[in-house]
Structure 1
Amino acid sequence: MGGKRRKLAQHPTKPRQPPGNSGPKVKTSSANANNANPKKKPSGATPARQQAQHSEPIIPFAPEDKILLVGEGDLSFAASLIEHHYCADVTATVLEKSLEELSEKYPHVEENIARIEAEDGKIIYNIDATKMGPFGVKKDRDTVGNMDRIIFNFPHVGGKSTDVNRQVRYNQEMLVSFFNRAMLSLAPGGSIIVTLFEGEPYTLWNIRDLARHSGLQVERSFKFQASAYPGYHHTRTLGVVRSKTGEVGGGWKGEERAARSYIFVRKEEGPKPDPKKNKKRSRDQDDESSGDE
């Protein structure tokens, strides 16, 4: 991990945390978190303890981080970050051009908007992930990225084609464009987090290779647990699911599907590969620097 990389607090300050509420039990993603306790861990951990440690959700950001959310749907994820993870600097972007268009797709969105704006969160309309930015600060004539975490949950172009190969290509092109644009908004030592469903066709996108060609590398990946974000509901690109009578509801629930988050960092800021380690790591093996959990 690069020397300029920011350390995430193991026990971050939670400025808006109500008394008596400790918030969701989570594991902060940081290579340094494991070294915070100087006491040596007891050897021979029981299987029950290992399973409990493995089941703790990993949260890849800290409350003090400057966070950019890309491609938000009903803004329930943004609202959860602010209300339950006490994130103080959140900018949520949506593709829709106006509140009216967003409300048409997600009728309950105004409730989430009110929760976000009540804590000074920002919402920006008409932001295309493939053309956005840069978000940052002016330095001379250029804009320098200042986002610590750029998060894109469940990117998808929608039903552009029924042909699997074409659909895969459309999504790959979208992700490559997103990575290139996101790099312009990324602060030094920052990270880009993308979450995808497990299995095909998502594995066919080869997101690791797409990122590598954009100058990024995987710092780690881990199981995404929707339960770590109270109030969050997965939404489709085309809007809410409606029944035959037009009522909202029914259909599958995306938050119940297995999903995985990938943390990407600039290649020059990421961990250097160890030439002595040639053995492939298991997909479920925890590795704080470059592997998976």
Structure 2
Amino acid sequence: MGKRRRLAQSAQPRKPARQQSRSNSSSASGKAKKPGSASATTAKQQQKAGPAPQQHAEPVIPFSPEDKILLVGDGDLSFGASLVEHHYCADVTATVLEKSPEELAEKYPQASENIAKIEAEGGSRVLFGVDGMTMKPFVDNKKKGKEGGGGVGIMDRIIFNFPHVGGKSTDVNRQVRYNQELLVAFFGRALLSLAPGGSIIVTLFEGEPYTLWNVRDLARHSGLQVERSFKFHASAYPGYHHARTLGAVRNKNGEIGGGWKGEDRAARSYVFVRRDDEPRPTVQHGKKRVRAQDSDSSDDD
């Protein structure tokens, strides 16, 4: 009987042992709960959720209202009209290849209205019969220019939106070569009219065949460097409509409309400056626009 009692007592756990066990378990759990574990969990949740959605950046406007602006191949002149009427540009020279207002209106019926908008204020003008490959320089003859020609260029911004030679050939390689020749000749003539610190802006659709033109390389070989590029937003220019080289598209009833709209296609503008020039920043509404450093990778979206 005494033996059974002793066995039963020895089978029961001792209180100090239980306290020590509790102490060990609490210390073990204390080691498991490291400081900052809650924040670590939150960080993991944020990583799973992904980065916070970014707000859409405002469209880049690569000119100031005070700039002297030359538009080359402005089609139906709706871009020039938007610059004057909505961006309050006071010194715009819009040029077209067509030789007269009548010829232009026959190709683009809305052109007459846009001419009136551009010339309404008196400080801007429209010039006809101007070929971007052979155009005469816009210069101040009292000063000597870097490229020769007897004068310093006076245009702060020279813009050529969607240059294209038209349907000269159905062969893709030939079309690419023709358009490259157009751009090389344009760069050479534009440099003569470019003011010190000014920039040349070329806008192209994204994707092939336009990427095959290698506009960056063509500009480099012409003595220019890429300052930056950015997405072209047609909506930033109220009233602007992409004008096709062949003229206004008409349906089978002779009415204007139909076909694809250039305003809906993705496009990119490339800003070029002289290789040895210090570009002047554009100013919008009294604020200086921040420019990226000269680099091919300094593209703004």
Higher RCO by CA contacts (8 Å cutoff, separation 6 or greater): 1
Could you list the runs of 4 or more consecutive aligned residues of structure 1 that deviate by over 4 angstroms after TM superposition? none
- Change over 3 Å in CA distance of 1:251–1:69 after alignment to 2: same
Q: Which residue of 1 aligns with 2:220?
A: 212
Q: Deviations over 1:95-149 (max 9, x none)?
A: 0001111011001111111111112221000000000120121126822211000
Quick check: 1:219–1:270 contact (8 Å CA) kept in 2? no
* SS in structure 1 of the partner of residue 104 of structure 2: helix
What does residue range 48-127 of structure 1 map to in structure 2 within 5 Å?
48=53, 50-52=54-56, 54=57, 56-120=58-122, 121-127=124-130
The one-character-per-residue Cα deviations of 1:41-60 (angstroms, maximum 9, x if unpaired) are: xxxxx834x333x3x10000
Q: 1:292 aligns with which of 270, 284, 299?
A: 299
Structure 1 equivalent of residue 17 of structure 2: none
In terms of Rg, which structure is larger?
2
- Match in the other structure for 1:171: 179
Q: Relative to structure 2, which stretch is displaced further, 246-255 or 186-195? A: 246-255
Residue 136 (str. 1) matches residue 114 (str. 2): no
Deviation string, structure 1 residues 257-282 (Cα, Å, up to 9, x no partner): 000000000011258xxxxxxxxxxx
User: For 1:62 and 1:195, how far apart are their aligned partners in 2?
Assistant: 18
Deviations 1:30-82 (A, max 9, x none): xxxxxxxxxxxxxxxx834x333x3x100000000000000010100000000
RMSD of aligned alpha carbons:
1.6
**Which structure 1 segments of 5+ residues have no match?**
1-45, 272-285
How many residues are aligned here?
A: 231
- Using the size of structure 2 for normalisation, the TM-score is 0.74
Q: Percent identity?
A: 74
More helix by share: 2
Instruction: Say if 1:117 and 1:167 are closer, same or farther in 2 by CA, change over 3 A.
Output: same
Counterpart Cα distance in 2 of 1:93 and 1:233: 16
SS in 1 for 2:299: coil
Closer, same or farther: CA 287–147 of 1 in aligned 2, 3 Å:
closer
1:287 Cα offset (Å): 7.3
Local SS of the residue matching 1:113: helix
Which segments of 5 or more consecutive residues in structure 2 lack a partner in the other structure? 1-50, 145-149, 280-289
Give the structure-1-normalised TM-score. 0.76
Q: In the TM superposition, what is the alpha-carbon distance from 1:245 to its structure 2 partner?
A: 2.1
Q: Which amino acid aligns with 2:52?
A: P
